Amino acid sequence: MPSQSTMKTSDQTAREIFEEVWANPARARFGFGDKLAIVNVDPQKAYTRPDLFPKTGYVTDPAQMDHINAISKLARAKGLSVVWTHVAYMENAADAGVWGTRTDTPDSLQNIKYGSERHEFDDRLEIDEVVDAVYSKRMPSAFFETPLASFLTWHRVDTVVVTGGSTSGCVRATAVDSLSHGYRTIVPLECVADKHESYHFANLTDLQLKYADVVRVQEVIDWIAAYEAAL
């Protein structure tokens, strides 16, 4: 029996560890399948506008919204599914569950109310509500208690591209659920964000090692550009 911990320790930063893992050419990939969907997780003002909501908002790549727009627009033009989620709760937060019990301040999660500014999508986003699926959710994963799984099944999707925030929270939860549902899962690096680089890069490392392919957004753009729907 082991007599001491075998957990590795390191003086490297979370960013350095991620870059080392990401650069490993021997790491097998899930790859793209035959048909993808873009799932944009919670790009709402509560999280994308630190100028409005400094305690909950964050910016990692300043061009994140542009990148999300670009891949969503290209996917839409190719007849591929685009999904948007944002989180919100009832006025009395009765639907927040245990997740809403840790704090109760104006910035607390359960105080994102339906129709509030914090619930609104970022104004820079280009959402086509005629053809895009838009869901409100209450828990971390975009799959939990939303129509997402059945929507993807109906559209015969086998690859899910996850964008949004936070990397350590709802993006990670959605990516894990995506893999668990049997989807090849892609996380474009420039399209996800978090409050602190430690959480961001530690979770990107975990996603890359276990649950998803972390790729440059240009790789997603190139794949969609080359996509041709099956006859």
Query: Is the predicted pLDDT of residue 230 greater than 90, yes or no?
Result: no
pLDDT single digits (tens) 166-191 = 999 999 999 999 999 999 999 999 99
The widest CA-to-CA distance across the chain, in whole angstroms, is 61
Task: Report CA-CA distances (Å) from 201 to 22, 24, 66, 68.
Answer: 11, 16, 21, 19
Q: How many alpha carbons fall within 13 Å on the CB side of residue 163?
A: 29
> CA gyration radius for the chain?
18
- Distance CA(189)–CA(123), nearest Å, equals 22
Active-site annotation holds for 191:
no
What count of other Cβ atoms lies within 10 Å of the Cβ of residue 28? 6
Closest residue by Cα to residue 31 from 214, 221, 218, 225: 214
What string of H, E and C letters represents the secondary structure of 156-199? CCCEEEEEEECHHHHHHHHHHHHHHCCCEEEEEHHHEECCCHHH
Q: Among the options 87, 170, 187, 192, which is catalytic? A: 170
Q: Would you say how long the chain is, in residues?
A: 231
Q: Would you state the pLDDT for residue 111?
A: 96
pLDDT single digits (tens) 105-142 = 999 999 999 999 999 999 999 999 999 999 999 999 99
Return contacts of 113-119, CB within 8 angstroms, 24+ apart: 113/88, 113/89, 114/88, 114/89, 114/90, 115/88, 116/88, 117/45, 117/52, 118/44, 118/45, 118/46, 118/53, 118/56, 118/88, 119/44, 119/45, 119/46, 119/86, 119/87, 119/88
What domains are defined for the chain?
A: 30-226 (3.40.50.850)
Q: Residues near 13 by Cβ (< 8 Å), separated by ≥ 6?
A: 197, 198, 201
Q: Would you state the pLDDT for residue 3?
A: 80
Identity of residue 13? T
Output the average pLDDT for the chain.
96
Local confidence band at 231 (pLDDT 50, 70, 90 cut-offs): low
Closest residue by Cα to residue 109 from 84, 125, 90: 90
- Distance CA(195)–CA(16), nearest Å, equals 18
The fraction of the chain above a pLDDT of 70, given in percent, is: 98
Tell me the whole-structure pTM to 2 decimals. 0.96
Instruction: Using DSSP, state whether 148 is helix, strand or coil.
Output: helix
